Chains A and B, each alone.
Chain A
Amino acid sequence: MTAIRFRQTVLRFLIHLTLAGGSAFMLVPFFWLLSSSLKAPHEIFVFPPKWIPDPVRWANYREVFEVVSVVRYTTNTMIVTVFSTLGVILSSSMAAYSFARLRFKGRDIMFGLILSTVMLPYVVTMIPVYILFTRLGWIGTFLPLIVPDWFGGPITIFLLRQFFRTIPLELEDAARIDGASRPRIFAQIILPLSRSALTVVLVLSLLYNWNDFLAPLIYLHKRDMFTLALGLNALQHFESGLDWTHYVMVLATLMVLPVIVIYFLAQRAFVEGIVLTGLKG
């Protein structure tokens, strides 16, 4: 009996050790980022590495605003993120409502078609979509980053449809007897009842758009239109002969911080979203 218990304790200890060691590995880069953002440039490149900055250079966070247009980049990123998210939620929830609760000819074919594009590699649509936006004269504006989101996202539609199907039909029937129209039912019954699913979709979309690099890289070329992702990339390739690594670290920290805050605030939504899109694909 004691031998078994001893073995279990050892095993438990080893599992904890592995998982904790892994967690440390996951966290070290964040710590490194934060610590480098508070150093003088010549303090970053030393051997052995200095984990705690000494002295702590808070001035980096002030000076970065003079070196790069942090406010501009952040505003741009927020414009794109907010309008894209708004669009994808509105257009996808409408489609999801129709696919989940209304019956009409062609519904299943359309849903199947939309679902089939979930795994479509983006590279195969990238060039024609770019040409389309060139023809429209939208290159260099935020429109190519925002407008496609107003036309539904396959994964979002799928996720919301699954959720809408679980809402009892009786609720809708009762509202119909009272003379409510479909748009009203959608806006006043379905959406308010789906707050948890909408939170999942909201969080995933915010994250996606805030982090996106490829689309801004393709469509935005002027510096005053840059998003944070583009600004951070550009700052690293800025050959001025000066060492700006500490500013790069500050900008990266500023870009990552809101993401981490949202992650901790909406952790349940995150986990649910990842698992739902992962398991039911």
Chain B
Amino acid sequence: MQSSPAQSTPAAQTERGLRFFQRLSFEETLFGWLFIVPAVLGLLFFRLGPVFASFYLSFTKYEIITAPQWIGFANYTKLIKDALWLRSIEVTLWYVILFVPLSLTFAYAVALLMSRNVRGITTYRTLWYLPSVVPVVASATIWRWGLNPEFGPINYPLKVLGLPAPRWLTDPDWIVPSIVFIGLWGLGNSVLIFLASIVSVPRTFYEAAEVDGANGFARFRHVTLPLTSSIIFYQLIVTVINSFQVFGVAYVLFVSNPSASSAGPNNAALFYVLYMFRNAFGYFRNGYASAMAWILFLVVMLLTIILFYSQRRWVYYETEGGGS
């Protein structure tokens, strides 16, 4: 939410408030609401409503044909004993732990490099971002063959150099790293956002730091990093939320139909959403799948809240006026 600078003093605030009510006309209210009718209906029917509906469904047994039947916490207690569900958590957590730090540090480093280099930056930016526009299905298709252990272009240089060439998509231990690798191919999105925030740091800050005798690293540590920390924080949240919901790549690579009983060798590609999808659209266990959805929702919300509280320690906002 943004506030206009005019709101700074209480007097200005009251004055503004008065004007607000004087001019609050019937015509404006009418059209104001009319214009947002579709968006409000969308909010109710496609977002807020479904959130509550899935909460209710998570306490029921519901297979679409018959009415939902209240079974209390049975779905939740069943989940704890579901070995596949536990497996899906393991797979997903492993992915999150690998992907989030790798993609953020890597993207930030690349953005730093790009911000230093003026000539050719547009070309680099264009090329690095290119994979981000590729459809998931297509990128999974490309990498299915790209990561082929025998004939793929990734293992080729490794083999030529006599390095160990992993069996990417067939070795259970390498499946999550493979998906991380494919995800890193689409790094350009974060790079672009970091780059925009780095280049928007005012020159004067660097000049002041230079006068104080700060060298390259000190300038990065005390100027660039704190002044871009709010964007790092935002990217951290978005990346975490998205990483918990990996679906498309794993589905295209390892699942042939909604009710397929495995996802990769040893279920090494059984991501959380994949297992949830299977329960909902393969087995039509809608109550069970809703319980899974709500657990994920709670975890993601909890993480976001924790991150929000932790940001006070490390995120610098200019309006505070203080140092980091």
A29:B245 contact, CB within 8 angstroms: no
Is A19 in contact with B39, judged by CB distance below 8 angstroms? no
User: For the complex, would chain B's binding face be called helix, strand, loop or mixed by DSSP majority?
Assistant: helix
Besides A27-B127, A95-B39, A125-B51, 19 new A-B residue pairs in contact (Cβ under 8 A), listed by A number? A16-B117, A27-B130, A91-B38, A98-B36, A102-B28, A104-B32, A117-B43, A119-B304, A121-B245, A127-B57, A127-B290, A127-B293, A148-B42, A157-B39, A211-B133, A213-B251, A233-B137, A237-B256, A249-B145
The CA of A19 and the CA of B113, in the complex, are separated in Å by 8
6 closest Cβ pairs, A-B complex: A151-B42, A152-B39, A278-B193, A104-B32, A98-B35, A95-B39
Which of B77-85, B94-102, B151-159, B311-319 lies at the binding interface? B151-159
Size band of the interface chain B makes with A: 35 or more
Minimum C-beta distance from B97 to chain A (A): 19
A151 near B41: Cβ-Cβ < 8 Å: yes
A56 interface residue (CB < 8 Å to B): no
CA–CA, A20 and B114, complex, Å: 11
Cα A102 to Cα B34 with chains together (Å): 11
How far is it, in angstroms, between the C-alpha of A124 and the C-alpha of B289 when the chains are bound? 10
B72 interface residue per 8 A CB criterion: no
In the complex, 9 of the A-B residue pairs with CB atoms within 8 angstroms, ordered by the A residue number, are A16-B120, A26-B127, A29-B146, A91-B38, A108-B1, A123-B276, A123-B293, A128-B290, A129-B50
Q: Out of B36, B46, B49, name the residue touching A148 (CB < 8 Å).
A: B46
Contacts of B123 on A, CB cut-off 8 Å? 23
> Which of chain B's residues have a CB closer than 8 A to the CB of A248?
141
A205 adjacent to chain B (CB < 8 Å): no
Cβ contact of A128, chosen from B49, B135, B244, cutoff 8 A: B49
Give the docked Cα–Cα distance between A245 and B53 (Å). Answer: 43
Which of chain A's residues 220-245 have a Cβ closer than 8 Å to chain B?
Answer: 228-229, 232-233, 236-237, 245
With the chains together, A49 CA to B145 CA distance in Å? 11
B125 at the interface (CB under 8 A from A): yes
A122 to B241, CA, bound (A): 10
**Residues of chain A at the chain B interface (Cβ within 8 Å):** 12, 15-16, 18-20, 22-23, 26-30, 32-33, 36, 44-49, 91-92, 94-95, 97-99, 102-108, 110, 112-114, 117, 119-132, 134, 148, 150-152, 154, 157, 182-183, 186, 207, 210-211, 213-214, 217-218, 228-229, 232-233, 236-237, 245, 248-249, 252, 255-256, 259-260, 263-264, 267, 270-271, 274-275, 278-279, 281
Minimum CB–CB distance from A12 to chain B (whole Å) comes to 7
B38's partner among A12, A47, A152, A213 (CB-CB below 8 A) is A152
Q: Are A22 and B110 in contact (CB under 8 A)?
A: yes
Across the interface, A245 reaches (CB within 8 A) one of B114, B145, B193, namely B145
Interface-side segment among B171-179, B203-211, B232-240 = B232-240
Is chain A's binding surface mostly helix, strand, loop or mixed? Answer: helix
**A49 and B39 in contact, given A248-B141, A259-B133 (Cβ under 8 angstroms):** no
Across the interface, name the chain A residue whose C-beta is closest to B106.
A22
- CB-defined interface of B223-239 with A at 8 Å, one 1/0 digit per residue? 00000000100110110
- For the complex, give the distance between the alpha carbons of A26 and B256 in Å: 28
How distant is B131 from chain A, measured CB to nearest CB, in Å? Answer: 6
Set of chain B residues within 8 Å of A16, measured between Cβ atoms: 117, 120
Given A102-B35, A233-B252, A263-B133, check contact A278 B47 (CB 8 Å): no
Contacts of B23 in A (CB 8 A): 103
